[in-house]
Amino acid sequence: MTASGCSARRLLATTNPGSTRHWLRVEWILQARQKNMQVFHFTMDDNPSLTPEYMRDMKASYSGVFYDRMIKGEWTNAEGAIYDMWTADTHIVPYDQLPRMQRILGLGIDYGTTNATSAILLGLGEDYRLYAIDEWRHDSKADQINLTNAAIVEGITKWLDGLTLPDGMRPMPEWLIHDPSAASLRVEMASQGIVNMFPANNEVLYGIQTVASVLDSGRLRVSDKCTGLIGEMSEYAWDPKATENGEDKPLKVNDHSVDSLRYVVCSTETIWRPYLNYPVPDMDAK
């Protein structure tokens, strides 16, 4: 803005914090005195217009590094395990102990040719928790065979047709949510008559944040039939080289099943999010 009668210019800007190596922090905030800048630190608790209910919901929506940044307002590096709240004792449920499902929300599919293809079935239980119910997975390296797109789709559909939940229900997903880069798989699914499909929301950091929040709150559990996913959860990690450059990126290893989980959780959020306002029934709380 230019004041009347002078040439002074002023820029007012706000930002959420990120990595400690982010260019904005390194080149501007840390050099505020040299650049004749003033830097202020606020959190949502400083905003009198926000209701306690809104602040409670926002604080419940973040965990780990995302909580430090978005709630506490700290510049923090994403390091180590991405889902560091994951524990087998808390999050893994025997398949035969799954509760009755209110809805079978979707099947998230991460597609690979030389890498693994994983499909995670997500349900909403009567206890208002999300459940990764079961997993179909083909790893061309481990299985020593490459499947065509037709064979992958046939394998997934036959697997779905043969599934039965502990209560006798056949869990058919409302949506098949596929890797957005897997155009050839989408064409094959369409050719086999599958119409309830759409490309996944692939905002990686938002998806990781969403999965982390429901894990941390105890609202997401994984059945012991999801062996590929269970194997990846504790191994999924931030890329230290990207962190050095001020970026948040996961390492592109051990990520096929976690990606399929992220796809289906994030892409069905508008369906399951309202149910999280309901308390977990005492009879099912563990």
Mapping DSSP onto H, E and C, the string for 151-180 reads: HHHHHHHHHHHCCCCCCCCCCCCCEEEECC
Q: Where is the domain boundary, 54, 76, 98? A: 76
Q: What is the pLDDT of residues 212-271, one digit of tens each?
A: 999 999 999 999 999 999 999 988 999 989 888 888 899 988 899 999 999 999 999 999
Report the percent of the chain where pLDDT is more than 70: 93
Q: What is the pLDDT of residues 140-162, one digit of tens each?
A: 776 767 889 999 999 999 999 99
Instruction: For residues 129 and 189, give the distance between their C-alpha atoms in angstroms, rounded to a whole number.
Output: 29
Whether residue 61 is found in the same domain as residue 149: no
Place 133 in a pLDDT band, splitting at 50, 70 and 90.
very high
**Which residue shows structure tokens 């929301």?**
201
Place 8 in a pLDDT band, splitting at 50, 70 and 90.
low
Whether residue 229 is found in the same domain as residue 120: yes
- Taking alpha carbons only, the member of 203, 201, 210, 204 closest to residue 66 is 210
| Residue 19 domain boundaries | 1-76
Whether residue 149 is found in the same domain as residue 93: yes
Taking each helix axis from N to C terminus, what angle separates 256-267 and 204-216, rounded to the nearest 10 degrees? 80
Q: What is the mean pLDDT of residues 180-205?
A: 92
Domain contains 59: yes
Whether residue 35 is found in the same domain as residue 145: no
Max Cα separation, the chain? Answer: 79
Q: What is the mean pLDDT of residues 198-215?
A: 94
Whether residue 114 is found in the same domain as residue 30: no
pLDDT at 285: 44
Amino acid at 123: G
Q: Where is the domain boundary, 23, 52, 76? A: 76
Number of domains in the chain: 2
Place 108 in a pLDDT band, splitting at 50, 70 and 90.
very high
Q: Where is the domain boundary, 28, 45, 76? A: 76
Q: What is the mean pLDDT of residues 91-102?
A: 96
Whether residue 20 is found in the same domain as residue 118: no
Domain contains 205: yes
- Taking alpha carbons only, the member of 70, 103, 49, 66 closest to residue 274 is 103
Whether residue 64 is found in the same domain as residue 133: no
Tokens coding 86: 């994951």
- Taking alpha carbons only, the member of 29, 25, 14, 17 closest to residue 66 is 17
- Taking alpha carbons only, the member of 153, 121, 59, 103 closest to residue 257 is 121
Whether residue 134 is found in the same domain as residue 48: no
Domain contains 285: no
Whether residue 68 is found in the same domain as residue 95: no
Report the percent of the chain where pLDDT is more than 90: 56
Domain contains 81: no
Cβ neighbours of residue 154 under 8 Å, at least 6 residues apart? 192
Strand bridging mode 117-125 / 101-110: antiparallel
Q: Which DSSP string do the residues of the chain spell out, in sequence order?
A: -B-TTS--B----------TT-HHHHHTGGGTTTTT-------GGG-TTS-HHHHHHHHHT--HHHHHHHTT-------SBTTTT--HHHHEE-GGGPPPEEEEEEEEEE--SSS-EEEEEEEEETTS-EEEEEEEEE-HHHHT-PPPHHHHHHHHHHHHHT---TTS-----SEEEE-TT-HHHHHHHHHTT--SEEE----HHHHHHHHHHHHHTT-EEEETT-HHHHHHHTT-BB-HHHHHTT---B-SSS-HHHHHHHHHHHHTHHHHGGGGGSPPPTTT--
Domain contains 284: no
Domain contains 127: yes
pLDDT at 144: 66
Instruction: For residues 260 and 132, give the distance between their C-alpha atoms in angstroms, rounded to a whole number.
Output: 10
Domain contains 283: no
Whether residue 176 is found in the same domain as residue 269: yes
Q: Is the pLDDT of residue 4 over 80?
A: no
Choice between 175 and 8, residue whose per-residue pLDDT is larger: 175
Domain contains 263: yes
